[in-house]
């Protein structure tokens, strides 16, 4: 069974339609769930569909960029295998060990660290603002990234592969889980408090990530994790805030009135002055 799992994910990068089905299925599932058990009332500029359309345009660009980056990911992963370079080869990790090591390394570099750096570097923050400018965080917000941010995330992902030596099956397992968790943590769903709190000890939970989207610092500069919450807990960037106190958007840097203006969002990082 384990061999079948490895074989499936080893070639998943060659099946973009299957990957798209996984992404769309996750979005649709949480889209429906948001209507059934909403966490916070949404105040869309026009409609939920209009809001989704803006965010999904960014998602489409993000996916196109990562389709090209995938060529480099495959090449780097194959080079690590041929050269025996990376933690999984140095430790002779085996299949299970390889999946675990790759998962932890990719989550740190491609999840927590790149996110942390974007908040601490003023120039990179200008691009990441587009993600935080969303006044109505829902399942479609998850992949709302400026194209430059998408490239940056890919570069940090390369670092994770290089250090771990992650073979393609472990990369695809991580990316598949990441897509599902991103939809889950951004979805406007209300979980029982005890479930959300319990999840947050190891994994990023919906309420935990919503704190990161609160409009005021220092909450904006917290809870950077993508899948695992352990980085925030270990590195002192974990914060808690009751969902009822959360307000989305930004208190500076960007006009909240323009959070659904696609062209304004796209051009904002290159403008000389910020609002």
What averages of pLDDT result for each successive group of 10 residues across the chain (275 residues)? 82 85 93 94 91 95 94 96 97 96 98 98 95 96 96 97 97 96 97 95 97 93 97 97 92 80 92 61
Q: What is the pLDDT, as a whole number, of residue 273?
A: 56
Place of tokens 């769903």: 189
pLDDT digits (tens, 9 = 90+) for 43-96: 998 899 999 999 999 999 999 999 999 999 999 999 999 999 999 999 999 999
- The angle subtended at Cα 117 by Cα 114 and Cα 123, nearest 5°, is 115
Q: What is the pLDDT, as a whole number, of residue 275?
A: 44
pLDDT digits (tens, 9 = 90+) for 16-32: 888 889 999 999 999 99
Asked if residue 228 lies in contact with residue 214, where contact means CB atoms within 8 angstroms, the answer is no
**40 exposure class (CB count in 10 Å sphere: 0-12, 13-18, 19+):** middle
Nearest Cα to Cα of residue 52 among 33, 28, 23, 16: 28
Using a pLDDT cut of 90, give the percent of the chain over it: 83
């Amino acid at each position: 069974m384990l061999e079948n799992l490895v074989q499936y994910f080893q070639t998943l990068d060659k099946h973009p339609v299957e990957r798209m089905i996984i992404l769309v299925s996750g979005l649709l599932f949480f889209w429906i769930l948001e209507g059934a058990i909403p966490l916070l009332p949404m105040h869309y500029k026009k409609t939920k569909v209009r809001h989704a359309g803006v965010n999904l345009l960014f998602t489409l660009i993000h996916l196109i960029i990562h389709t090209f980056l995938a060529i480099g990911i495959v090449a780097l992963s194959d080079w690590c295998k041929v050269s025996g370079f990376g933690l999984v080869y140095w430790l002779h990790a085996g299949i299970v060990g390889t999946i675990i090591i790759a998962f932890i390394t990719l989550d740190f570099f491609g999840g927590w660290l790149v996110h942390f750096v974007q908040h601490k570097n003023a120039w990179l923050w200008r691009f990441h603002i587009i993600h935080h400018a969303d006044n109505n965080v829902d399942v479609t917000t998850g992949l709302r990234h400026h194209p430059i941010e998408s490239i940056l995330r890919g570069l940090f992902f390369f670092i994770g592969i290089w250090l771990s030596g992650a073979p393609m099956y472990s990369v695809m397992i991580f990316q598949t889980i990441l897509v599902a968790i991103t939809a889950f943590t951004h979805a406007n769903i209300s979980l029982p408090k005890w479930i959300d709190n319990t999840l947050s000890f190891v994994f990023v939970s919906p309420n935990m990530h919503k704190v990161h989207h609160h409009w005021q610092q220092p909450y904006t500069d917290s809870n950077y994790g993508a899948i695992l919450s352990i980085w925030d807990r270990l590195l002192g960037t974990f914060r808690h805030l009751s969902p009822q106190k959360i307000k989305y958007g930004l208190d500076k840097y960007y006009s909240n009135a323009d959070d659904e203006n696609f062209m304004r969002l796209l051009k904002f990082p290159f403008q000389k002055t910020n609002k």
